[in-house]
């Protein structure tokens, strides 16, 4: 069964990484939520994709220049549409509380490939553990260092290495880092890689898949999960495919 994971929530219909987009994904029966984790200036894990705040807050500077309280006072919904004025940034802890009683997987992408946040892995891991959610949490990162740090924290953790570049023996390389799964850009989905991943028993998760034809290919190859901005379309496409 291929799981439908809402990428930054149902981010085609609501501002990414907000409570509104997560609620919508849940209403659309997504199997899980993908979100991006960074640190505020005062070291609080928060959910945000870009390193800079310009696109979402229309202000200058980097996310890490602001404290959690400063970020919490900023609107992160109005850039998307007037219906979403008043949406505010969520801390990872707020997200964990929100998801606790819902039957959803958590896909936490540690955004430390551009800024290598000190202790991002351990802070995120400890919080997830404190809320008893490790068994349905899947960590992922583009950073090979970060994969290795997560592996050191707990080698039984679900860790996906994210990549948009093809390379020889991708599954073997990912495993050598300590990853348990491979998260690939959809254009890398090729029969050879599918076969290698199967041989290595490495789940393949594919991002960001929004078009029915691309979704269908992921289903055909029995990918473990797809990350999509349109969980409603993906769910329908899966039912049609079955």
- Residues lying near ligand G3P in the complex (CB under 6 A) are found at 7, 34, 36, 49, 109, 140, 162, 183, 207-208, 227
The 10 Å Cβ neighbour count of residue 119 is 13
Binding partner at 186 among ligand G3P, Mg ion, none, C-beta below 5 to 8 Å by kind? none
91 binds, among ligand G3P, Mg ion, none (CB under 5 to 8 A by kind): none
- How far apart CA 237 and CA 212 sit, in angstroms, is 6
Separation of alpha carbons 206 and 215, rounded Å: 9
Dist. CA 158–CA 61, nearest whole Å: 33
Q: How far is the CB of 242 from Mg ion (least distance, A)?
A: 27
Q: What is the closest distance, in whole angstroms, from the C-beta atom of residue 34 to ligand G3P in the complex?
A: 5
- Residue 109 interacting with Mg ion (CB under 5 A): yes
Assess whether 7 carries a catalytic annotation: yes
- Quote the least distance from Cβ 197 to Mg ion, whole Å: 20
Question: Of 7 and 19, which CB lies nearer to ligand G3P in the complex structure?
Answer: 7
For ligand G3P, which is the closer residue by CB, 66 or 227? Answer: 227
DSSP string, 19-82: HHHHHHHHHTT-SEEEEEEEE-TT--EEE-S-SBSHHHH---SBGGGS-HHHHHTS-SSTTT-G
Q: Is 49 a catalytic residue?
A: yes
- Cβ–Cβ under 8 Å, residues 62 and 4: no
Residue 92, SS3 per DSSP: helix
Q: In whole angstroms, what is the distance from residue 226 CA to residue 242 CA?
A: 16
CB of 36 to Mg ion, least distance (A): 4
**Interaction of residue 36 with Mg ion, rule CB under 5 A:** yes
Question: Catalytic residue among 7, 26, 183, 186, which?
Answer: 7
Output 11 or 91, the one with its CB closest to ligand G3P: 11
Please tell me the distance from the alpha carbon of residue 223 to that of residue 242, in angstroms, as a whole number.
14
Q: Which stretch binds Mg ion (CB under 5 A): 21-29, 64-72, 105-113, 184-192?
A: 105-113
Catalytic residues: 7, 49
């Amino acid at each position: 069964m291929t799981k439908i994971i809402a990428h930054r929530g149902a981010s085609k219909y609501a501002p990414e990484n907000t409570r509104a987009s997560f609620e919508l994904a849940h209403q659309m029966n997504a199997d899980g939520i993908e979100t991006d984790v960074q640190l505020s200036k005062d070291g609080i894990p928060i959910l945000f994709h870009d390193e800079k705040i310009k696109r979402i807050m229309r202000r200058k500077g980097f996310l890490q220049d602001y404290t959690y309280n400063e970020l919490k006072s900023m609107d992160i919904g109005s850039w998307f549409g007037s219906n979403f004025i008043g949406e505010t940034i969520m801390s990872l802890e707020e997200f964990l509380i929100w998801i606790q009683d819902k039957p959803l997987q958590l896909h936490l992408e540690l955004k430390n490939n551009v800024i290598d946040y000190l202790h991002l892995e351990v802070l995120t891991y400890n919080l997830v553990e404190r809320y008893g959610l490790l068994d349905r949490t899947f960590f992922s990162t583009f950073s090979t260092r970060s994969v290795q740090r997560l592996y050191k924290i707990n080698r039984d953790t679900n860790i996906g290495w994210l990549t948009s570049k093809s390379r020889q023996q991708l599954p073997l390389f990912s495993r050598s880092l300590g990853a348990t799964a491979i998260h690939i850009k959809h254009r890398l989905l090729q029969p050879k890689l599918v076969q290698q991943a199967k041989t290595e028993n490495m789940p393949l998760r594919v991002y960001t898949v929004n078009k029915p034809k691309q979704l269908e290919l992921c289903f055909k190859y029995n990918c473990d999960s797809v990350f999509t901005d349109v969980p409603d379309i993906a769910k329908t496409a899966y039912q049609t495919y079955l």
